[in-house]
Amino acid sequence: MKLIAVGDNVTDCYVDEGVYFPGGNAVNVAVNCKKNGAEKVGYIGVFGDDDRADYIRSCLEEEGVSCERSRKVYAHTAQPRVFLKDGDRVFGPGPRDSCQHLFAIRLVPEDMELIRTYDICHTSCFSNLEYELPQLAEVCRVSFDFSERREEEYLRRTCPYLSFAFFSGSELSEEECAEFMKRVHELGTEIVGITRGSAGAIFYDGKKLYRQGIKKVEVVDTMGAGDSFIAGFLTAYGDGAEMSRALEYAAERAARTCMVRGGFGHPHKA
């Protein structure tokens, strides 16, 4: 399986410890797919012009993720603040006017020719790429992380172009999840999944509901666990695993991420 992620890169700043980690949904999914054994993984994003951007890029290169076709702009890297409470992450706002706040990627023909060489393109609601989904869907399968966004208008705008849709919904009952996933599938998305924290995950492929429990581990940090779940699922399913096995593998990979600081390690003194 070959995957390219297009979208956000940030430095997650652990305020209490004075360190930051490379992160962002697109970056985390890309790196974890490579760790999972994906044949080829790429990333296209907007990098700032500061040392943090250089560090993120060096970490991606170290992890074997290609950054060709990425942009560089005159703005600082996004720096969300993170506080840990009983191992769980709590976010606080960082400085405004970062490259993530100010810029969105406009995909050009050269980008599309590169993306065409991959099997799956992953992006998210944090990447300002909704307007590019129609043309992305023409060249490869598209994966999209909605996080907690579930507004009907937004679903109508995005779901017709997706092969994979991932949502966060720890507050939803199983019945509410089932009803919602069927709605997303009706709008055109092939496979829909909702992660529910300690309650595990529920997926729907248009025919059947699949339930996946969590793997219990000694939790160090939950940062990036959801992204790791997505990467685990996409890697396994993209390589031909049937749904239940792909979900089992995704849960295993998410659990392993909970045992690592940051989205995928690489701490740097702030």
Residue pLDDT, tens place only, 72-117:
999 999 999 998 777 566 888 899 999 999 999 999 999 999 999 9
The matching CATH number, chosen from 3.40.50.300, 3.30.70.270, 3.40.640.10, 3.40.1190.20, for 2-269 is: 3.40.1190.20
Whether residue 201 is predicted with pLDDT greater than 90 in this model: the reply is yes
DSSP secondary structure string, 23-64?
E-HHHHHHHHHHHTT-SEEEEE-EE-SSHHHHHHHHHHHHTT
Query: Average pLDDT, stretch 123-142?
Result: 96
Which one has a higher pLDDT value, 230 or 91?
Answer: 230
**pLDDT at position 263:** 95
- According to the model, what pLDDT value does residue 236 have? 98
Residue-level pLDDT at 16:
87
Does the structure show a pLDDT above 70 at 26? Answer: yes
**What's the rounded mean pLDDT across residues 3-9?**
97
From residue 242, give the alpha-carbon distance in Å to each of 1, 165, 174, 195, 228. Answer: 14, 17, 22, 19, 18
Name the nearest CA neighbour of 190 among 172, 163, 169, 212.
Answer: 163
Q: How far apart are CA 155 and CA 183, in angstroms?
A: 9
Report residue 227 CA to chain centroid gap. Answer: 5
Contact assessment for residue 247 and residue 204, using Cβ atoms and an 8 Å cutoff: no
Lowest mean per-residue pLDDT among 37-51, 112-126, 210-224: 210-224
Per-residue pLDDT tens digits for 32-65: 999 999 999 999 999 999 999 999 999 999 999 9
Q: Is the pTM of the predicted complex or chain greater than 0.85?
A: yes
144 pLDDT more than 90: yes
* pLDDT tens digits for range 147-198: 999 999 999 999 999 999 999 999 999 999 999 999 999 999 999 999 998 8
User: Percentage of the chain surpassing pLDDT 70?
Assistant: 99
> What are the residue ranges spanned by the domains of the chain?
2-269
pLDDT at 2: 98
